[in-house]
Amino acid sequence: MPMIRSKKCPVDAPWITNHFKSLIIERQKAFSTYGPDSSSFKSLRNQVNRERKICKSNYYKLRVHQLKQTDSKEWWKEVKRLSGMASTRSSDIRNIIDIENLEQLSEQELTNKINEVGSLICI
């Protein structure tokens, strides 16, 4: 069987493996070649679903095993992050707004830009 290369994208879930991605590629080829009612596609679809469950399970088991070595504060921080309960908000306005060359602006220039944007919204 030929080797299939795949890249790890930054938006991929952390549990996605190269093997899992190659199964998805095979499934998609079967779908486009034979259609959604073919036995080939259905078999690969089921295989992808089984592999997805295994990959997720292995990833979370490994994370929990690693967390057992840390203190309780880190444990709960990671549990909240993994479960989606962790807050991704930041009190720094620079993480929220989209202004060109934001990092190069001084505090005064940043304040003026925010006021400009705010005044446009209120009009």
Cβ–Cβ under 8 Å, residues 33 and 12: no
Which letter does DSSP use for residue 12 in this model? S
Buried b (16+ CB within 10 A) or exposed e, 17-36: beebbbbbebbeebbeeeee
Percentage of the chain exceeding pLDDT 90:
33
From residue 18, give the alpha-carbon distance in Å to each of 30, 52, 84, 91.
Answer: 19, 12, 24, 37
Confidence of residue 123 (pLDDT cuts 50, 70, 90): very low
Rounded distance, CA 61 to CA 73, Å? 19
What's the longest Cα–Cα distance across the chain?
A: 65
Q: For 18-53, what is each residue's pLDDT tens digit?
A: 999 999 999 999 999 999 999 999 999 999 999 999
Taking the alpha carbons of 84, 87, 90, 94 in that order, is the dihedral positive or negative?
A: positive
User: Domain ranges in the chain?
Assistant: 13-83
Q: What does the pLDDT read at residue 102?
A: 66
Whether residue 95 is predicted with pLDDT greater than 60 in this model: the reply is no
Mean pLDDT within 75-90 = 74
Q: Is the pTM of this model over 0.85?
A: no
Residues 6+ apart with CB under 8 A from 114: 93, 97
Range ranked top by mean pLDDT from 7-21, 51-65, 77-91: 51-65
Q: For residue 48, what pLDDT is reported?
A: 97
